[in-house]
Amino acid sequence: MNDEWNDEELKASVQAYVEMQRDERLGQPFIKKHYYKRLAEVFGRSEKAYEYRMQNISYVLALMGRSWVTGLKPARNIDGAVAAQIEKFLWEAQSQKAIPVVAFKIAVRDELKQKTPAIPNGNAKPKSRRVTVTQFRCNAPVTAWVLQQAEGTCECCEKAAPFKNVDGLPHLELHYMRQLADGGQDVISNAVALCPNCHREIHHGASAHALVAWLYDNVGRLIPE
């Protein structure tokens, strides 16, 4: 079979991944190999190829700052154009639009691999474009309550906020355990106050799942959704 993955095959793979992710969130049992077998029967690749593609999807989700399916550790070996298509299909699966970020982040990572990079010229006049995106309006009382309860201490690393805002308040950031884009509720049982480091790590870090589990075990008000 042709090594190139067409849009139909990529979209079907993303849809299968989203189904597994939904079942995991609902606590419903599922068998990954059944999804790989179904895709293999339709498109003719090996089941192993689909397992690896699912790991690529996990990588794309990690770059997007989103959660990924347990057991499908992100695999980085993916072309930027393919990753961009996967990102597009992930947003379409949720009937949402967002500013694409994955192709850019992969391009940056590719540049970082250069041992002796040339000094770039950059762009004196960066181009702009108008994009329509989905944005959730957060509940101010929920955010304020969670930040007040934290009393200036990150609920993950349990260290003091690294600095104060211009209004003199400790700088902590609200994080939704199940993100609003994934159907999470804007309620105190789904929100924590994090320092910037922990917030970035829980979105993009290799240990994100472990941090999520720790928070559920140690922050009493949290209820998995």
Tell me, yes or no, whether 48 lies in a domain. Answer: yes
One-letter identity of residue 98: A
Is residue 75 located within the same domain as residue 162?
Answer: no
* CATH code of 190's domain: 1.10.30
Task: State which amino acid sits at residue 138.
Answer: C
Domain boundary residue, one of 95, 112, 129: 112
The 10s digit of each residue's pLDDT in 159-188 is: 999 999 988 999 999 999 999 988 899 999
What's the burial of 18, exposed, middle or buried (CB within 10 Å: 0-12/13-18/19+)?
middle
Does residue 91 share a domain with residue 38? yes
If asked whether residues 13 and 50 sit together in one domain, one would say: yes
CB contact burial 98-124 (16+ within 10 A = b; e otherwise): beeebbebbeeeeeeeeeeeeeeeeee
22 and 105 housed in the same domain: yes
Q: Is the pLDDT of residue 1 over 50?
A: no
Q: Does the residue 199 lie in any domain?
A: yes
* Residue 133 included in any domain: no
Whether the per-residue pLDDT at 52 is higher than 70: the answer is: yes
Residues 107 and 149 grouped into a single domain = no
For residue range 20-49, what is the model confidence (pLDDT) as tens digits? 999 998 889 999 999 999 999 999 999 999
**Shared-domain flag, residues 182 and 88:** no
Residues 33 and 97 in one domain: yes
CA 71 → CA 22, 33, 67, 207, distances in Å? Answer: 15, 12, 12, 13
180 located within any domain: yes
| Number of domains observed in the structure of the chain | 2
- Burial (Cβ within 10 Å: 0-12, 13-18, ≥19) of residue 46: exposed
Is 0.95 topped by the overall pTM?
Answer: no
**Same domain, yes or no: 105 and 144:** no
The answer to whether residue 130 is domain-embedded is no
Rounded-to-integer distance, Cα 57 and Cα 86, Å:
7
Domain enclosing residue 182, as ranges: 140-218
Q: Are 54 and 69 in contact (CB under 8 A)?
A: yes
Mean pLDDT calculated for residue range 55-74: 94
* 98-123 pLDDT per residue, tens: 888 999 989 888 888 888 878 888 88
